[in-house]
Amino acid sequence: MTVKVADIGESERTACPGKVAALPSEQLEEPWPAGGSWPQSPWDVRAFRPGEKVTPAGSDADLGYGDTLTSAGFTEEVVMSGAKAVVMATAVVRCDAQPRLFEVRWVGRSEVWARYRVAPIDEVARRARRGQEAKLAGGQPAGRAAWLVGAAAALVAAGAGDLCPVPAPP
């Protein structure tokens, strides 16, 4: 089989790098429902707030019992544990973590295992509502949907599970 490629000309060839640079960046984050286990893939980026406990989980094909995970946004390295085919750990997002994208890596390996975003509370609430709405679109009654979305937003706003102390006003 023979393929012929037409010459685009010198002007097109020199303009090509500028056109490619002007293209919008590719969105690599995958939208997974907030209620599922995290991470579903290295690009399953969930939003967490400072002080929140998170539970990274994986199969023992990916991670083994006793493997250690590290992230600049966690308070400490966490060790995966579990039984059979599922291993998990509990990590705490640092109270002083600034809003940005963080990576989770296996200690001693160079590859990224997961990503998460530390976001201000309003961003976490918005993503939680979007995740609830996605789950509820599968046939839940509208009244229940409104209740669940309201309850999720109230828990986030009230600081449920918050481990970072808030200083009392003077």
| pLDDT digits 0-9 by tens, 29-66 | 888 887 788 998 888 999 999 999 999 998 766 667 78
pTM over 0.85, yes/no? no
**Do 144 and 63 share a domain, yes or no?**
no
- 15 within domain boundaries: no
Pair 34, 115 in one domain = yes
Task: Tally DSSP H helices, then E strands, for the chain.
Answer: 3, 10
Q: Give 27's Cβ-side CA count (13 Å radius).
A: 5
- Residues 36, 105: one domain? yes
Q: What is the domain extent for residue 83? A: 28-119
Are 127 and 144 contained in the same domain?
yes
**How many domains in the chain?**
2
Q: What is the CATH number of the domain that holds 73?
A: 2.60.40
pLDDT tens across 73-89, in order? 999 999 988 876 788 89
Is 9 within the bounds of a domain?
no
Identify whether residues 98 and 78 lie together within a single domain: yes
How far apart CA 142 and CA 1 sit, in angstroms, is: 59
Select the more confidently predicted residue: 46 or 144: 46
Identify whether the C-beta of residue 117 lies closer than 8 Å to the C-beta of residue 111: no
- 52 shares a domain with 35: yes
Same domain as 111, residue 32: yes
162 vs 52: CA distance, rounded Å = 6
Residues 35 and 85 in one domain: yes
